[in-house]
Structure 1
Amino acid sequence: MLVIDRPTAQAALSISDAIPIAASALRAYSAGDVDQPLRTIIRPDGIDDLMGVMPCYVGGEASLGFGLKAMVLKPANPARGLDLHVGVVIVFDPDTGLPLALIDAGAITAVRTPAVTAVATDLLARKNAGDLAILGSGVQGRGHLEAMLAVRAVRRVRVWSRTPMHSERFRAWAWSHLGVEVEVHPTARAALEGADLVCTTLASKEPVVSDEDVAPGAHLNAIGASFADHRELASAFVRRCSVFVDSRASARAESGDLIVPEEEGLIGPDHVLAEIGEVLLGRHPGRRRSDESTLFKSLGLAVEDVTVGFAIAQAVRDKGLGTVIKFH
């Protein structure tokens, strides 16, 4: 079994490399080639921590086999200088079932999430979209800037974060690593004004994006709120949008951004038009008008982690990297 730490995993696969891999995972999921239950969440009474377990089987043409992601959310970790989410992805040999690789989950999430967003953006955003607003300046904010640069000719970038110092760090990183100038804005509304491409990467429980903040015809990728009691978007904005998801089942069970507007009677159960995999398969046309406001609500699927995990394991093995442990 290969043990692959974060630096090794990061060096093995870039976000650009992961985009076609993410597309294949989304296509396989919507084609019915993936067996994947809803993730299991354990929230013990009396503490703020939780654990999530996400297993799946990838069949079809890829025929990758079994894999799973196990992660722990520790709210106290950022104060320790550690990630809020920590965990591992395990992929199993499709022939023998023996563990093939144990991979740092943070490295996979940092790559596969923006890669999935890039797939959705390329399908749904207007071809000339390039006025980009990013809400949130952490790992996902950085990854999503790279992802948007991979699929659109970005001509302007603005950022807003709850902590101004974090926005300034984001601006310095974007210039030093990507050669991209970023405008720092004092409010989310100011960052969003006139943008036609938006990525929200906030782990927020209350909406940050109001309907009047987002220009008609814009495409928005909502990444940060991945629990039923978390929201980034006001209900009126969601009602206005043509909504696409990575998984209908996950969206119904886990997306506060969609559950709350339905409970309020503002949208119905059919407000989600399609999964991104269904657009890839030609079952839905995606964007239909230039003035259509489109929303991709990303929940994160085990098949995304596992498919990218297999790719990282293969790349690391080909390069002779990682730590090999005799498992059997």
Structure 2
Amino acid sequence: MLTRSEIERLLPPSAYTDLIEQAFAAYARHETLPSRLAHLDSPPGEFHIKAAGLRDMVAVKIGACFYDRPATLGLPSIVGVIALFDGSTGQPVMFLESATVTRLRTAAATAVAVRHLALPHASTLAVLGTGAQAAAHIAAIRDVRPIERVIVWGRDRARTERFAIEHRAESARTAHDAASQADVVVTLTPATTPYLGVDDVRPGALVAAVGSDAPTKRELRDDLLAAAALVTDVTHQCAEVGELHHRPDTPVRAELGEIVTGLAKGRESAREIVVFDSTGTAIQDAAAAQALYAAAVERGEGRPLPLWE
């Protein structure tokens, strides 16, 4: 079993970008088991169940999203676990806290998209949302592009100001004010009503839509999806819970893994707006869990979990 502090100690955040890029490439080459998704509403929250296999191991994640937890319990809104199994025998090999893994692998996936789809000189980043994912995204994107300016926007003005000060960023009063100045826009909100349209982003921008990971969530307006080239993490999953779910006739240029491996072309011009529909896949969880397992075994970290005693 691995705890949150052990997860944070075993792999640095910067290690996740290459790790997740390799996982997307493996998926594109059909070297993984299919990524599967289940969703369960449990008012006032919801559960996400994701499963996939990579190399010789299978990972299953159960994530609970209850946005009233900070107010009612004083705890983060997202909590969960990952179980890692030997794919040839079914034997469980590791049990670990999932929110930390999810935060780091999600930011890494966005960084992979930025690496392959953002303009080479992209230097201004807009982050829409100030929750748990925001800081991780700023750090991951700074690793792959020369970001000189970060602009943040959130629904809570006071929280946005505090976040901006803490992360050496500028705060914006509206989503438009932040996005319209940026080369890379990352949307990280649990919105159910879309708030970002084509008039809010500049030509050539990459928009990473991360918040839509359930059928009711949506951040991008129809006009933005219609005007942009759409790249998905996993197309069938985006059609179930992502931005693609709300505009299913939107043409998909490629999955990110196909672009990583050169099987498909990404950006076609410097003025093209590209949207990356990021729903978060179990392939990412499997890759991260395997790397953590290998590091834990090598360093003698973690502790036995005596389930069968």
TM-score range, shorter chain: over 0.9
Partner of 1:48: 44
| 1:20 aligned to which of 18, 27, 33 | 18
Is 1:100 matched with 2:93? yes
Partner of 1:114: 107
- How far apart, CA to CA, are the structure 2 residues paired with 1:109 and 1:31? 23
SS at match of 2:300: coil
- Cα–Cα, structure 1 residues 37 and 191, in superposed 2: closer, same or farther, change >3 Å? closer
SS at match of 1:39: strand
Structure 1: which 5+ runs fail to align? 175-180, 263-267
Partner of 1:253: 240
- How far apart, CA to CA, are the structure 1 residues paired with 2:88 and 2:193? 46
How far residue 282 of structure 1 moved from its aligned partner, in angstroms, is 1.0
- How far apart, CA to CA, are the structure 2 residues paired with 1:14 and 1:239? 38
The size of the alignment, in residue pairs, is 307
Counterpart amino acid of residue 220 in structure 2: L
How far residue 170 of structure 1 moved from its aligned partner, in angstroms, is 1.7
User: Cα deviations across residues 247-288 of structure 1 (Å, max 9, x unaligned)?
Assistant: 011111212x223234xxxxx35x110000001121112111
Task: Report percent identity of matched pairs.
Answer: 28
Instruction: Tell me the TM-score normalized by structure 2.
Output: 0.94
- How far apart, CA to CA, are the structure 1 residues paired with 2:293 and 2:53? 17
The answer as to whether partners of 1:69 and 1:306 remain within 8 angstroms in 2 is no
| 1:292 aligned to which of 272, 276, 281 | 272
CA RMSD of superposed structures (Å): 1.6
How far residue 96 of structure 1 moved from its aligned partner, in angstroms, is 4.5
The answer as to whether partners of 1:208 and 1:233 remain within 8 angstroms in 2 is yes
How far residue 34 of structure 1 moved from its aligned partner, in angstroms, is 1.9
- How far apart, CA to CA, are the structure 1 residues paired with 2:299 and 2:36? 34
Partner of 1:193: 180
Partner of 1:143: 136
SS at match of 2:48: strand
Alignment of 1:1-328 (within 5 A): 3-44=1-42, 47-58=43-54, 63-79=55-71, 80-94=73-87, 96-174=89-167, 181-255=168-242, 257-262=243-248, 268-269=249-250, 271-327=251-307
- How far apart, CA to CA, are the structure 2 residues paired with 1:208 and 1:76? 22
Structure 2: which 5+ runs fail to align? none
- How far apart, CA to CA, are the structure 1 residues paired with 2:36 and 2:59? 14
- Cα–Cα, structure 1 residues 194 and 172, in superposed 2: closer, same or farther, change >3 Å? closer
- How far apart, CA to CA, are the structure 1 residues paired with 2:97 and 2:222? 35
- How far apart, CA to CA, are the structure 2 residues paired with 1:37 and 1:290? 32
Instruction: Tell me the TM-score normalized by structure 1.
Output: 0.89
